[in-house]
Amino acid sequence: MKKYAIVLAVMTVSAGLACAQDTAAAPVKADAVKPAIQSTDAPKPAAPAANTPETASALKVEKIVVAAGVENKEPVGEAVEFSTATATVTCWTKVSGAKEGTVTHIWYLEGKKEVEVALAITADPMRTWSTKTMKPGSWKVEAVSTGAKIGEVSFVVK
């Protein structure tokens, strides 16, 4: 089984994107964590109406940061500027307000969408994160839930 986990980890890292999530309240079952990646070429869904009760997210971002990594469910090496020697950057988000739902990290480079990573929320509060392979430039990660932006963090790779 370890052999398969290592192969999966190598495949995930070599694809340039890895996701992980965990909870403060209880461990997440393996079958409950199903990150989804959507192609940037996919048709965009219709924009939701202004932040009405129907489109407003129950989830609230308590903290969103970018870091060199995550250890013990906490961000390590938080920064707003990273060297080009940095292979990957992790966007770490702590949300509260609902025990279920989805937070999507949308990664932008120079204003152009690079990738979307959907992260399942299974506890309240919950810490979750996604990791992206870096290129030089100005980056932004938006945290979105039910069509509404609930958090954002910007950083630079030089």
Residue 72 — pLDDT band, cuts 50, 70, 90? Answer: very high
Asked whether residue 49 is assigned to any structural domain, the reply reads yes
Strand segments, DSSP code E, in the chain are 17-23, 36-38, 60-67, 69-71, 74-76, 81-82, 88-96, 101-109, 112-121, 126-133, 137-145, 148-157
Is residue 3 included in any domain, yes or no?
no
Residue 78 falls inside a structural domain? yes
pLDDT digits (tens, 9 = 90+) for 2-32: 444 433 333 343 444 444 444 444 443 334 3
d(CA 150, CA 64): 10
131 assigned to some structural domain:
yes
Q: In the chain, how many domains are there?
A: 1
Rounded distance, CA 43 to CA 140, Å? 21
Residue 130 located in a structural domain: yes
Question: Taking the model in full, what pTM does it have?
Answer: 0.68
Please provide the average confidence, as pLDDT, over all residues in the chain. Answer: 78
* Helix (H/G/I), strand (E/B), else coil: 122: coil
Tokens coding 140: 């932004």
* pLDDT tens-place string over residues 90-139: 999 999 999 999 999 999 999 999 999 999 999 999 999 999 999 999 99
Whichever domain contains 81, its CATH number is 2.60.40.1930
Could you please report the per-residue DSSP string of 24-44?
Answer: SSSPPPGGG---EEE-TTSPP
Centre a 10 Å sphere on the Cβ of residue 103 and count the other Cβ atoms it contains: 26
Residue 11 lies in a domain: no
